[in-house]
């Protein structure tokens, strides 16, 4: 309504202006009559054209529905205006393992505390509460609280709590707080968002699942048609693999470069190269080795490279009915330093690598199936301790083959059955896992 | 570590921001790309994030789209939660402050129209995807002038040097669209009261405009895939009404419609839901021409 009135006023003022001009022109006797006439004709033409345009605009508005009301609470971006988007994810697992009581250490690797995977029976996996919102026009903030119960123990832990800038110029962004590092591909994905019920061996061995730490990240996205992002991070080093290093509060530093694009309308890719450098002090295993007393404390330097490749296929770019995702990551780590086993010191030099290959095929809107192969290789040199430790690789190459099938009632409820043919520890294991993932609340949207 | 950082330096300098003359528009759907071309002419360069054969509810936040959002001067989308699964991710990860929601560089078309089917409560048991009202409003051509006016205003703010040019283009569009609207209304007179069954609740605005009656949907709830029992129920609906056609969009799986077609004499037709969805729907005008032609053909 207001728009129509505005147009009418505009049209009237245009008309009166025109007549005023005409009046002025007529009174002026001294000017050349021809010149004036030409000017007048021009003016007339101008205003006629303008009027015609206004009339057209008015007509278009009249034929359109009455004054549009803004969408009630309608917004492209938030599930609830102003409130943080809240989601709760319940991730539960039931395991049946042939090697129920056995050790699950990976020969040649000192593992972090959480990486001991799970045992027989029903367990509450990493259920998490996620809150996120644009704080204002300059900042986005998110927090993820994970609830875990492991036997008698249960508790909550801050998995992520960070802010991210939204308004830095020229493609720069800063992230600060506790967050999942930008390295690799899988590292940025919460465990309930992956294709399998457990993490691939290299992530378990190198990063205790994920590299998550407190610190700051700076990144820059290039203004190119090829997607290119570069980032560096300075992290406290309180998390594995640094394990509480006191290096003026910056125990871990990372750098990464990511590139991506489309091969065609159905095929897309993302590739990245990442580097992690940590100063390690007093690191011990959090796994079962701790109890067996062959776990030395390690201090020194740990640096890893990660090469990642993701290829996704979706017919004509529609992933909903059918899609295929292939992921491959290769990790390589070099560790050098000193070992301490109950006062006896020795030296340690480790050359370790691992990779996983994973394919997940969605063959029906509600069903998908996947296959994964993951393996590790350690070539460690330990001198001076005199006793065998978890770092002795025993010429073993841990490996595992997994198959899974999952059912999606909707994208908010997933049931998954997984089988692991697990030869990763010294005791071979045949594992069956039944998993459910229930997502409630806001729909966060997924990264590629 | 240091060597890696040093290696980054040439890459950083290499990608110095190019100065582009045209306003770069990232349109979420082909119809907005077409409208942007209509108003922006040669002063803009447009890119559509989805094709006419993609379901805009469910595409992925691909790296190629991140790169496009990073370069965009204006992001022009449907809104009303249509793109909720991927657009927020793109906007957050593309590090482009110029197109942040709330800025001049972000245009949510749903803010310029009146939404239909606005639910009184949001419950995922009722299907997931239209919690703020039905976002498929591009199918009522009476909505386009409102959106065109908003777009013009945005273009003028982003590129004030060409303000008069955009005004002229808008006026020309409005004049031509008004004539076209009148033609379509006359041509489609007989479609009023026509009964249809649709795949997804994507046609309410078209129905509202032409007076078409929707007597069933193949999706049991918006966004949930058709089930056998639900389709069997639709056969009963067909018995008791005078359904002329099963309507679906070019990106929708034809299986459910074929199943129904095999058990009735009613044709299954693809109605272009956007520009380019059929060979005939080559621009904004041809798009609605084709919609009406296809409906008239089955409404005998
Ligand atoms: Zn929809």
Residue A70 at interface with chain B, using a CB cutoff of 8 Å: yes
Tell whether B277 and B293 lie within a shared domain: yes
Once rounded to an integer, what is the mean pLDDT over residues A293-303? 85
Handedness of CA A443, A448, B4, B7 (dihedral sign): negative
Q: Which of A54, A68, A275 sits opposite B146 (nearest CB)?
A: A68
In a domain, residue B201? The reply is yes
3-state secondary structure of B45: strand
Q: How many residues does chain B have?
A: 300
Domain end call among B183, B213, B230 = B183
Q: What superfamily would CATH give domain A86-441? A: Porin (2.40.160.10)
Ligand 1 geometric centre to CA of B133 (Å): 9
Q: Does B103 share its domain with B207?
A: no
For residue A64, give the nearest of B58, B61, B142 by CB distance: B142
With a cut of 90, say whether residue A359 has pLDDT above it: yes
Q: Which of A53, A63, A71, A135 to mutate to test the interface with B (most CBs of B within 10 A)?
A: A71
**Per-residue model confidence as pLDDT tens digits over A59-72:** 545 444 444 444 43
Neighbour tally for A23: CB within 10 Å:
9
CB-based contact B117:B136 (threshold 8 Å) = no
Asked whether residue B230 falls in the same domain as residue B293, the answer is yes
What CATH number has the domain bearing residue B57? 3.40.50.1980
Is B117 part of any domain?
yes
The interface predicted TM-score of the complex, written ipTM, equals: 0.86
Tell me, yes or no, if B250 comes closer than 8 A to chain A by beta carbon: no
Number of domains in chain B: 2
Q: Give the whole-angstrom CA distance, residue B290 versus residue B285.
A: 9
Chain B neighbors of A60, CB-CB under 8 A? 145, 174-175, 177-178, 181
Determine, for residues A56 and B63 on separate chains, whether the beta-carbon distance falls below 8 Å. no
Residues B136 and B213 in one domain: no
Q: Which pLDDT band holds residue A49 (cuts at 50, 70, 90)?
A: low
A81 CB within 8 Å of a chain B CB: no
Q: Last residue of some domain: B150, B183, B216?
A: B183
- Helix (H) / strand (E) containing B216: strand B213-217
| Nearest-by-Cβ selection for A255 from B1, B78, B143 | B1
Is a pLDDT exceeding 80 seen at residue A203? yes
Backbone angles phi, psi at A52, to 5 degrees: -60, -40
- Regarding whether B169 and B82 lie in a shared domain, the answer is yes
User: Is residue B12 included in any domain, yes or no?
Assistant: no
Q: Tell whether B58 lies on the interface with A, counting CB pairs under 8 A.
A: yes
A444 alpha carbon to ligand 1 midpoint, in Å? 18
Co-location of B233 and B167 in the same domain: no
Rounded Cα–Cα distance for residues B116 and B132 (Å): 9
β-strand partners of A146: A128, A157
Check residue B16 and give its pLDDT. Answer: 43
Domain shared by B142 and B73, yes or no: yes
Quote the pLDDT of residue B155: 97
Between A104 and B70, the higher pLDDT residue = B70
- pTM more than 0.90: no
Instruction: Write out chain A in H/E/C secondary structure.
Output: CHHHHHHHHHHHHHHHHHHHHHHHHHHCCCCCHHHHHHHHHHHHHHHHHHHHHHHHHHHHHHHCCCCCCCCCCCCCCCCCCCCCEEEEEEEEEEEEECCCCCCCCCCCCCCCHHHCCCCCEEEECCEEEEEEEECCCCEEEEEEEEEEEECCEEEEEEEEEEEEECCCCCCEEEEEEEEECCCCCHHHCCHHHCCCCCCCHHHHHHHCCCCEEEEEEEEEECCCCCEEEEEEEEECCCCCCCCCCCCCCCCEEEEEEEEEEECCCCEEEEEEEEEEEEEEEEECCCCCHHHHCCCCEEEEEEEEEEEEEEEEECHHHCCCCCEEEEEEEEEEEEEEEEEEECCEEEEEEEEEEEEEEEEEEEEECCEEEEEEEEEEEEEEEEECCCCCCCCCCCCCCCEEEEEEEEEEEECCEEEEEEEEEEECCCCCEEEEEEEEEEEEECCCCCEC
Q: Is B156 on the interface with A (CB under 8 A)?
A: no
Please choose, from the candidates B250, B202, B248, B223, the residue with its C-alpha nearest in 3D space to the C-alpha of residue B53.
B250
* Whether residues B244 and B259 fall in one domain: yes
Does residue A118 register a pLDDT over 50? yes
Residue of A nearest to B68 (CA): A225
Q: Is B72 on the interface with A (CB under 8 A)?
A: no
- In which domain, by residue range, is B290 found? 189-298
Strand partners, B241: none
Same domain, B154 and B198: no
B18 within a domain of the structure (yes/no): no
How many C-beta neighbours within 10 Å does residue B239 have? Answer: 9
Convert the pLDDT of each residue in A124-136 to its tens digit.
Answer: 767 899 999 888 8
Are residues B51 and B144 both part of a single domain? yes
What is the per-residue DSSP string for B134-148?
---GGGSGGGHHHHH
Is the pLDDT reported for residue A232 higher than 50?
yes
Q: Within an 8 Å CB–CB cutoff, is residue A12 touching chain B?
A: no
| pLDDT at A5 (0 to 100) | 46
Q: What is the pLDDT of residue A262?
A: 97
Query: How confident is the model at residue A248, as a pLDDT?
Result: 66
Please state, in angstroms and rounded to a whole number, the distance separating the CA atoms of residues A439 and A411. Answer: 8
**Same domain (yes/no): B172, B243:** no
Element (H, E) at B107: strand B106-108
- Name the residue facing A230 among B11, B50, B55 (closest C-beta): B11
Q: Are B162 and B53 part of one and the same domain?
A: yes
A135 and chain B in contact, CB less than 8 A: no
Between residues A392 and A40, the one the model is more confident about:
A392
* Domain-terminating residue out of B149, B183, B217: B183
pLDDT tens sequence across B282-299: 999 999 999 999 999 998
């Amino acid at each position: 309504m207001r728009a129509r009135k505005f147009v009418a006023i505009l049209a009237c003022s245009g008309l009166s202006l025109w007549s005023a001009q005409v009046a002025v022109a007529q009174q002026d006797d001294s000017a050349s009559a021809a010149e004036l006439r030409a000017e007048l004709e021009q003016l007339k033409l101008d205003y006629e054209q303008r009027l015609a345009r206004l009339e057209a605009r008015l007509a278009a508005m009249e034929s359109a529905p009455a004054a549009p009301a803004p969408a009630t609470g309608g917004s492209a971006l938030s599930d609830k205006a102003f409130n943080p988007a809240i989601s709760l994810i319940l991730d539960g697992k039931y395991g049946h393992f042939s090697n129920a009581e056995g050790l699950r250490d990976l020969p040649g690797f000192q593992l972090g505390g959480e990486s001991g995977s799970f045992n027989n029976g029903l367990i509450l996996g990493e259920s998490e509460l996620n809150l996120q919102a644009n704080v204002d026009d300059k900042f986005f903030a998110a927090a993820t609280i994970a609830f875990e119960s492991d036997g008698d123990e249960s508790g909550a832990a801050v998995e992520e709590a960070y802010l991210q800038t939204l308004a830095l110029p020229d493609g720069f962004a800063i992230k600060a707080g506790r967050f999942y590092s930008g390295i690799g591909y899988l590292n940025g994905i919460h465990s309930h968002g992956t294709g399998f019920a457990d993490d691939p061996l290299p992530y378990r061995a190198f990063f205790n699942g994920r590299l998550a730490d407190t610190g700051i990240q700076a990144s820059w996205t290039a203004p190119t048609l090829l997607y290119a992002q570069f980032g560096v991070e300075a992290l406290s080093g309180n998390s594995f693999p640094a394990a509480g290093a006191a290096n003026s509060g910056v125990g871990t530093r990372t750098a990464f470069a990511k590139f991506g694009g489309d091969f065609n309308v159905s095929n897309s890719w993302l590739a990245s190269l990442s580097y992690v450098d940590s100063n390690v002090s007093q690191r011990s295993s959090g796994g079962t080795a701790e109890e067996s007393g062959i776990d030395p404390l390690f201090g020194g330097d740990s640096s890893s490279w990660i090469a990642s490749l993701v290829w996704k296929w979706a017919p004509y770019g529609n992933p909903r009915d059918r899609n295929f995702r292939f992921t491959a990551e290769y990790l390589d780590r070099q560790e050098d330093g000193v070992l301490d086993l109950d006062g006896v010191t020795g030296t340690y030099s480790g050359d370790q690598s691992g990779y996983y290959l994973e394919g997940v095929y969605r063959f029906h809107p509600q069903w998908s199936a996947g296959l994964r192969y993951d393996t590790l290789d350690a070539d460690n040199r330990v001198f001076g301790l005199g006793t065998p430790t978890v770092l002795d690789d025993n010429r073993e190459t841990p490996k595992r083959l997994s198959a899974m099938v999952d059912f999606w009632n909707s994208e908010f409820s997933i049931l998954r059955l997984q089988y692991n043919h697990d030869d990763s520890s010294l005791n071979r294991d045949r594992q069956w896992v039944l998993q459910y993932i229930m997502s409630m609340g806001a729909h966060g949207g997924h990264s590629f | 570590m240091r060597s890696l950082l040093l290696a980054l330096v040439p890459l950083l300098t290499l990608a110095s921001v190019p100065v582009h003359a045209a306003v770069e528009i990232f349109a979420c759907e082909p119809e907005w790309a077409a409208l942007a071309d209509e108003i922006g002419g040669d002063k803009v360069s447009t890119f559509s994030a989805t094709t006419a054969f993609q379901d805009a509810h469910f595409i992925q936040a691909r790296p190629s789209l991140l790169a496009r959002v990073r370069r965009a001067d204006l992001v022009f989308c449907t809104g009303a939660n249509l793109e909720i699964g991927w657009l927020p991710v793109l906007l957050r990860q593309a590090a482009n402050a110029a197109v942040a929601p709330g800025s001049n560089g972000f245009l949510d078309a749903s803010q310029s129209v009146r939404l239909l089917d606005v639910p009184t409560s949001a419950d995922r048991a009722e299907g997931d995807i239209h919690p703020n009202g039905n976002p498929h409003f591009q199918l009522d051509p009476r909505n386009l002038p409102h959106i065109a006016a908003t777009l013009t205003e945005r273009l003028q703010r982003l590129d004030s040097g060409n303000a008069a040019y955009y005004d002229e283009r808008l006026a020309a569009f409005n004049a031509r669209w008004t004539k076209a609207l009148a033609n379509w209304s006359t041509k489609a007179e007989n479609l009023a009261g026509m009964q249809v069954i649709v795949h997804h609740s994507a046609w309410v605005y078209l129905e509202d405009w032409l007076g078409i009656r929707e007597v069933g949907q193949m999706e049991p709830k918006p966004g949930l895939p058709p089930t056998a029992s639900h389709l069997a129920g639709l056969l009963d609906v067909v018995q008791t009404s005078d359904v002329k056609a099963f309507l679906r969009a070019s990106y929708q799986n034809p299986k459910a419609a074929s199943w129904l077609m095999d058990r009735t004499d009613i044709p299954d037709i693809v109605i272009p839901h956007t520009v380019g969805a059929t060979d005939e729907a080559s621009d904004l005008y041809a798009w609605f021409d084709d919609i009406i032609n296809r409906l008239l053909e089955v409404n005998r």
